[in-house]
Amino acid sequence: MDILKKCNLCPRNCNINRYLIKGACGADYKLKVAHYSLHMWEEPIVSGENGSGTVFFSNCNLKCIFCQNHIISSEGLGKETSKERLADIFLTLQNKNAHNIDLVTPTHYVPQIIDSIKIAKNNGLKIPIVYNTSSYENIETIKMLNGYIDVYLADLKYYDNTLSEKYSKCIDYFKYASKAIDQMYNQVGKPVIVNNLIKKGLIIRVLVLPGHVDDAKKIISYIYNKYGDNVFISIMNQYTPIFKFRKYPNLNHKLSNSEYDEIIDYAINLGVSNAFIQDGETQSESFIPNFNPDIV
């Protein structure tokens, strides 16, 4: 695993030896898992009736200030886990009739995850693998995943770099995320849906932030102009304020119905037809998993 001795898995490009020190993501060389379970709250074609076999990894290379999973992404809650144990978790979730394995925030553990997928496949893992990412990825890391990932569930968080700098401390988010997503699409192509479940393809998530409707419109326009209906766009209203921000008061409240309706109308007028929208009360802390690394 020499790549971790000079780690540049993500655009932070720490170039450090993770066997000696931790990267900007907060991770060293040890695989760390915060929680795993059947998860019912992904997009319908991912969760289906039985649920997605979701594995939440500790730490994160993006660390958005509003992250609802901050206890694992920024505080590093989780349990050190071997590659063999992670493979066992995959198989356990498959035995519980999960429709897929959903890898949440996996970027900084890609080499270990690939090894675990190999072990699990050698022991009977057959369900699709979903890579659930912020998309702040180096394209070389996504290329490493070619052949191992069936479905990419990719955020496209910001179009405007001033927003990514304010909220995620990176001035180059869109540059890297757009290239990474293009590589994802090149690998998996158009969606393959069987019995209302996605088996292969790309879903791009757009989390609409309060006060930033215009940025969300630019993101949706970019996605549709580039990919048309060859990808699914998931337009999300579920931003949940966890903290109080003095500098950014817009983040202290939920997205308004009028803001979300404006985004949906914009997407419809643009011609988007392969999309998911959220209806009802999704802006609640009850949708945040109760992370329990003890079960790992």
Share of the chain above pLDDT 70, in %: 94
**Interval 268-281 mean pLDDT:** 89
The pLDDT tens digits of the residues spanning 197-234 come to 999 999 999 999 999 999 999 999 999 999 999 999 99
pLDDT for the residue 282: 54
**226, burial (CB in 10 Å: exposed 0-12, middle 13-18, buried 19+):** middle
Residue 139 in this model has a pLDDT that exceeds 80: yes
**Confidence band (pLDDT; 50, 70, 90) for 286?**
very low
Residue 82 in this model has a pLDDT that exceeds 70: yes
pLDDT for the residue 163: 98
Residue 281 in this model has a pLDDT that exceeds 70: no
**Confidence band (pLDDT; 50, 70, 90) for 140?**
very high
What residue ranges do the domains of the chain occupy?
29-295
**147, burial (CB in 10 Å: exposed 0-12, middle 13-18, buried 19+):** exposed
* Contact indicator for 127, 101 with CB cutoff of 8 Å: yes
CA distance 254 to 55: 27
**Confidence band (pLDDT; 50, 70, 90) for 242?**
confident
- Pairing mode, if any, of strands 151-155 and 129-133? parallel
Alpha helices in 123-235 (DSSP H): 139-144, 161-168, 173-188, 213-227
**Confidence band (pLDDT; 50, 70, 90) for 289?**
low
**Interval 112-126 mean pLDDT:** 98
What's the DSSP call for residue 271? T
To the nearest whole number, what is the mean pLDDT of the chain? Answer: 94
**Confidence band (pLDDT; 50, 70, 90) for 270?**
very high
pLDDT for the residue 284: 46
Residue 68 in this model has a pLDDT that exceeds 70: yes
Helix 257-270 crosses helix 213-227 at what angle (to 10 degrees)? 20
pLDDT for the residue 285: 46
CA distance 33 to 72: 9
CATH class of the domain whose range is 29-295: alpha beta
What's the DSSP call for residue 7? B
